[in-house]
């Protein structure tokens, strides 16, 4: 299963709503809003304690992204990291997850 699948499962995958010349911002959606809420709150805590997510969040906000968008981007990054940890059977190592 790919990362896109897990992002869809957690409700943090961006969907664009475009038709013809009409273009708008991408929004997240999905039926699992409770999971998304739990992941959002977990990220709020992780940004306080974890330097990987803290620097990612600060970099996105400094680049001009809205704060909630930056948090959801960090949630997606956390899903990618957790998926790779489960796949490889390894424990958390901040040195390996700095990009």
* Neighbouring C-beta atoms of residue 79, cutoff 10 Å: 18
Q: Which residue in the block uniquely carries the two structure tokens 């739990």?
A: 38
Q: What is the pLDDT of residues 56-84, one digit of tens each?
A: 999 999 999 989 889 988 988 888 888 88
Using CB atoms within 10 A of its CB, is residue 21 exposed (0-12), middle (13-18) or buried (19+)? Answer: exposed
pLDDT at 42 over 80: yes
* Least-confidence region, from 14-18, 47-51, 92-96: 14-18
Write down the domain spans for the chain. 3-88
- pTM exceeds 0.75 for this model: no
Average pLDDT of the chain to the nearest whole number? 78
What pLDDT sits at residue 59? 96
pLDDT at 55 over 90: yes
Q: Which residue has the higher pLDDT, 58 or 2?
A: 58
Tell me, letter by letter, the H, E, C secondary structure of 16-65.
CCCECCECCCCEECCCCHHHHHHHHHHHHHHHHHCHHHHHHHHHHHHCCC
What letter would DSSP give residue 75? H
């Amino acid at each position: 299963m790919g990362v896109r699948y897990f992002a869809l499962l957690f409700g943090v995958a961006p969907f664009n709503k475009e038709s013809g010349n009409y273009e708008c911002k991408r929004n997240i959606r999905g039926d699992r809003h409770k999971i998304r809420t739990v992941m959002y709150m977990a990220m709020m805590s992780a940004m306080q304690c974890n330097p990987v997510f803290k620097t990612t969040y600060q970099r996105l906000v400094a680049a001009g992204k809205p704060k909630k968008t930056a948090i959801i981007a960090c949630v997606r990054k956390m899903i990618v990291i957790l998926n790779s940890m489960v796949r490889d059977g390894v424990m958390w190592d901040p040195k390996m997850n700095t990009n």
